[in-house]
Amino acid sequence: MKDWIQNDQVLPEALRDAVVRDVHASRVLLVCRSIANAAKHLTLTGRKGRKVKAAQVETFIINPNLEDGSVSWDYMVKLEDGTWVTAYEIGVEAMREWERSSRTTGCRPCHLCTENWSAPRWSHL
């Protein structure tokens, strides 16, 4: 979303710059950027071709249910500091950050991005 806003020539330049600064100051949005870029390019490299640190995504079996044979799992994200959080938590925090950023910068996200969404009441990031 940041790239769309940054490159939208209809928006005032000051607003575009404010959104970019705000996103680059957000830990969770930078984690999302790392995951998205790594998924897109299969590796994450900087503009000069050097590898940069990125969040690592793993799948872990959480709860095998022997009675009915079902298994639940979660996608876990290993952050640069070595801590682990669920991909779900990253997503929830990213939505919160976009809401906060839109209030801070005055750039209101489109209704398609936020319609019918409400944040859970816990946070680990």
Distance between CA atoms of residues 70 and 27, nearest Å: 35
pTM of whole model > 0.85? no
Dihedral through CA 24, CA 7, CA 49, CA 75, nearest 10?
60
Q: Which residues pair with 77 in a beta bridge?
A: 57, 85
Domain spans, the chain: 2-107
pLDDT tens-digit profile of 11-62?
A: 889 989 999 999 899 989 988 888 887 777 665 555 555 555 556 666 665 6
Predicted local distance difference test score (pLDDT) of residue 118: 56
Among 109, 111, 117, which Cα is nearest to 22's? 109
